[in-house]
Chain A
Amino acid sequence: MDDLYREVILDHYRNPRYRGSLPSPTTSHEGYNPLCGDDVTVELLVKGGIVEEVAFNGSGCSISQSSASMMTEAIRGKTVQEVESLFREFTAMMRGSDDIDFDSIGDLEALEGVRKFPVRVKCATLAWHTLQEALRRLDQGENQAASNERAIR
């Protein structure tokens, strides 16, 4: 039991960090896990390639909500590139890879125990996939803006 619900996880569940919404996010996405009805919304304020602000909202089990909270803490202030590499490390860890740079993922390691509960892995990765989708939209938005600019010229 303690493998799944490590103290760090319970702490984030009871006292979530950066829960709420941003006044003017540059990108956001709402992710949904149809199996258990968990939902997580991630909002980002990205400026000059840096995640300056982040917030999440949603409802669901302790794993999905604490993972979202831990993610906000882990990515705040990081460059988009760093966030993307964190996404790769984290999802690799949840897929069962042992070839992980544990230094870089810090507290997120607490979620490693979820691997022993295969049905719950999707709960832990929901926030991260939502984040990735939000970043993809940011990219698209920039490309869109760039191509709009070109079109105007």
Chain B
Amino acid sequence: MTTPVLQVDALRRSFGPATVVDGVSLRVDPGETVGLLGPNGAGKTTTISMIAGLLRPDDGSVRIQGVDMAKDPLAAKRHLGLVPQDLAIYPELSARSNLFFFGRLQGMRGTALRRRVAEVLDVVGLTDRATGASKTFSGGMKRRLNIAIGLLHEPRLLILDEPTVGVDPQSRNAILESVEALSGEGMAVLYTTHYMEEAERLCDRIGIMDAGRVIAEGTRDELVEITGGADTVTLVGEGPLDEVEVAVAGIPAVREVRRVAGERRLVMMVQGAPQAISAIVATATGAGMTLRDVETSRPDLESVFLHLTGKALRD
């Protein structure tokens, strides 16, 4: 059995009375991409801060390449590349200067550093914008530079904390492609996001995180199994939604109904949506709902999250 690149055991951390991370365990093997999927405030960044040695856990342990972060932080950090959620770049400096600066702090120098800077600029597609001050970059370019810095020293473990936030679809695709390429080269990747599509596309395994806990963990297909293969149906519209909720819950194919807080939207888990949809629509309109939109989807991580927590992943 190979040593995992990252082994996290029962991490726990409170801020004052609030327990923000509550017993998180994770394992990432070489070449594997593991996702942490969870809504805002789930504790993803706090977990990553403890893994990267930025925050002391109240309890639990972190090992990178078998090195305990608490016992020998410098040795553990040598194998780690962190891409923080915030744009961790110096705005006054160019892309190249940012890379040279962080490269030197990683202990790189000379031709090896120069060669590697050129390589990562190429990977993230910033070669022709290497010299201008990075404050003039678009959001997507800044994100790409943020990632390039994390890759520079060819770490065994790359941690990306929501690397595509605020990025246009094109840059986003470029970012996802480079992450796929890296894991293809054998890098272990820990990837947090609250975009279900990204987790589904990139990750070999996914941990679903909510309120400080990993509430389910497995491959995409394993996770979807949890819902028993139910489809998701979403009704959008106005009317006496409380009464509509009760009415549609009476349909045998409908397994669960939730109101999305603050929105005129009912989300339900349905066994065999294509067959049941006409009955659902008829019941809802019969109960007084004016429909604006009806969406059905095959079981996905969104439905898993809804099933497990009763909340939508993004609201």
Q: Is chain B found bound to chain A in the same assembly?
A: no
